[in-house]
């Protein structure tokens, strides 16, 4: 798949771990395209974790409204940034345990930050990774955490982040859930399409 997607990478725009943290929280139930439109202005307005904590929640909600679930996302961003400021001296943590202690950050978000901001391998079990892993017979699990552990046993650790990017790229560009492009698929011979039930 690397030949098919040599440019596979995270599609959220960010310049530092804090921006990636915020963008990833905003990406829940929202497209990366929409998040990037919102963060283009957001990251000019809020540069440090303390900037997010000082603004009234309603103002932050207004800034991120178009990403959906904006009240909960604003609350989580402010809480996470408060902890980043007070517990982690203004630095977004670089380990799974501390990251998942932040509001709005589960294993998936933590792995996105670890793999992309810090170069620490992590498997991101988003909807594409879950669906394609099942189609490829890599796991029968739909639970993101169980699937992550299944994949950790199969994929060399050094490849965890890129593996996630490749499946996400493939799921977004060719193996689209409603209409997979099987006729153009480079990994079709490994696919169990139609054999597994959702």
The catalytic residues are 108, 126
**DSSP letter at 116?**
H
Contact at 8 Å (CB) between 42 and 79? no
Contact at 8 Å (CB) between 80 and 25? yes
Task: State the Cα–Cα distance between residues 156 and 138, nearest whole angstrom.
Answer: 14
Task: State the Cα–Cα distance between residues 170 and 32, nearest whole angstrom.
Answer: 15
Task: State the Cα–Cα distance between residues 61 and 59, nearest whole angstrom.
Answer: 5
Which residues make beta-bridge pairs with 180? 175
Contact at 8 Å (CB) between 98 and 108? no
């Amino acid at each position: 798949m690397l030949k098919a997607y040599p440019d596979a990478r995270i599609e959220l725009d960010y310049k530092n771990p804090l921006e990636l943290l915020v963008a990833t929280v905003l990406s829940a139930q929202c497209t990366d395209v929409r998040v990037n439109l919102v963060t283009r202005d957001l990251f000019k307005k809020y540069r440090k974790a303390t900037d997010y904590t000082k603004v009234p929640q309603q103002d932050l909600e207004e800034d991120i409204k178009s990403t959906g679930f904006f009240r909960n996302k604003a609350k989580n961003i402010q809480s996470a940034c408060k902890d980043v400021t007070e517990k982690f001296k203004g630095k977004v943590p670089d380990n799974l345990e501390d990251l998942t202690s932040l509001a709005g950050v589960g294993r998936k978000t933590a792995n996105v930050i670890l793999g992309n901001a810090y170069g620490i391998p992590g498997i991101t079990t988003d909807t594409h990774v879950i669906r394609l892993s099942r189609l490829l017979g890599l796991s029968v699990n739909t639970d993101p955490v169980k699937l992550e552990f299944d994949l950790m046993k199969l994929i060399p650790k050094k490849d965890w982040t890129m593996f996630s990017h490749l499946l996400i790229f493939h799921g977004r560009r060719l193996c689209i859930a409603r209409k997979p492009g099987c006729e153009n698929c480079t990994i079709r011979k490994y696919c169990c399409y139609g054999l597994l039930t959702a």
